Amino acid sequence: MPRLGKQAVAYLFLLPALIIFALVAWYPIARAFEMSFQDVSLRGESTWVGLDNFELMQRDPALDIVWENSLQFASWSIALGYLLPVIIAILIREMRIAKGYFRIVYFLPTVVPISIAIIVWRFIYDPDAGFLNELLSVFGIEAQRWLKDPALAKPSIVLVMTWGAFGTTTLIYLSSLQEISVELYEAAELDGASPLMRIRHITLPHLAPMMSLLFVLQVIAVVQVFTEPFLLTNGGPGRATLTPVLHIYNRAFMRADLGYAAAWSVMLVVVLMVFSSVYQIFNRYINRHLRA
């Protein structure tokens, strides 16, 4: 009885958070799931349409392109941005002077509001009078249509995403690096280990679990990217930078087709869940294999 009493008090403390979560997170999730099987009328009666929204998805001209884009965005983002924070964190960790200065400098882009940053990036990428093309012209390279060239639009956007996000990731790696005992490095140094050997045998094994987690989080974040393509390219040129969330936004808010947009949201959740599960299983297998 006293234990139950104690738990009741604990739940009472949790109650405000539970109510807020229920209202702003769980209820909308459940409602979106429900809406994905409906023809939604915001004022009138919504009608149940079974799997119609999911069947319609098969005829959506954007379907294949959107997922191909996600895959390419994720690949570009891993290529351009996955190792960068690890390298910078290690470099900062190895620094003897001005460590604090560099920690702040690399974190700065993160504190710039994204909409402001996008305005600046638009100037940088402007095909007529942009900074980047001006810079290229100094080296005699001809002007590029960064955001309007289907081949360049994705990496250009990924660059903006990486610029905005790598500061936070670097801090996470740095904090993880703080956990490594200094004695370990000193012992390695005494044993004659070069900096590269120290990184290979002490730093990277220590960072591995964090890197594995951040890999999943990065892929999930990139597949859900919205702000950068929305503000920089509106999904174009053509559909070259259209992402699932931008497509959902367009269907829901520009075309008021909420049932169909909800079906897309459900699909996005399922795809990400499958990816995360497969990755987890794969990761566990690798770990077991390594230990063995």
Partner 1 sequence: MKKKLFLLLVATLVIASLPVATSSGQGTVVPQVISLPEQIAEGRDVSITVSNKPAADQPEELAIWEGQVAKFQAMYPNVSIEGLELTYDPTAFIAMIAGDQLPTLFQTYFTEPEKFIGQDAVADLTPLFEEAGLAGVFNANVLAIASQDDKLYGIPDFAYSLGLAYNIDMLNAAGFDAPPATWDELAEMAVALTDKDAGVAGFAFINDGSGATGWHYTDIAYGFGAAPEDIIQSNGDGTYTATFGEGATVDALQFVHDLAWTYDVLPGATLDWANITEALASDRVAMVIYAGDQFSFMMNQFPDADLTKYGYAPVPAGPEGRVALTGGSLWMIDSAASDDEREAAFYYQVWRQLDPVEFETSIITQSETGRAVGQPVLPLYVGDYQAKIEEFRSQYNVLPVENYALFNDAVKSGELKLQAEPPAAAQDYYAELGVLVSEVLANEDVDPASRLAEVAEEFQAFVLD
Q: Which residues bind partner 1 (CB under 8 A)?
A: 41-44, 56, 59-61, 126-129, 145, 147-150, 233-240, 250, 252-256
CA pair distance 195, 91, nearest whole angstrom: 11
Q: How far is the CB of 238 from partner 1 (least distance, A)?
A: 3
DSSP code of residue 246: H
Q: Which is nearest to 89 in space by CA: 181, 187, 168? A: 168
| Closer residue to partner 1, CB minimum distance, 86 or 257 | 257
Q: CA dist 16 to 9, 19, 20, 21, 26, Å?
A: 13, 5, 6, 9, 14
Whether 245 contacts 224, CB under 8 Å: yes
Q: How far is the CB of 213 from partner 1 (least distance, A)?
A: 34
- Cis amide bond preceding 237, omega within 30: yes
| Closer residue to partner 1, CB minimum distance, 177 or 245 | 245
**Dihedral sign of CA atoms 43, 49, 53, 56 in order:** negative
**How many CA atoms within 13 Å lie on the side-chain side of 122?**
13
| Closer residue to partner 1, CB minimum distance, 203 or 257 | 257
What is residue 39's three-state secondary structure? Answer: strand
Q: How far is the CB of 192 from partner 1 (least distance, A)?
A: 57
| Closer residue to partner 1, CB minimum distance, 200 or 255 | 255
| Closer residue to partner 1, CB minimum distance, 56 or 80 | 56
Q: How far is the CB of 149 from partner 1 (least distance, A)?
A: 6
Q: How far is the CB of 232 from partner 1 (least distance, A)?
A: 9
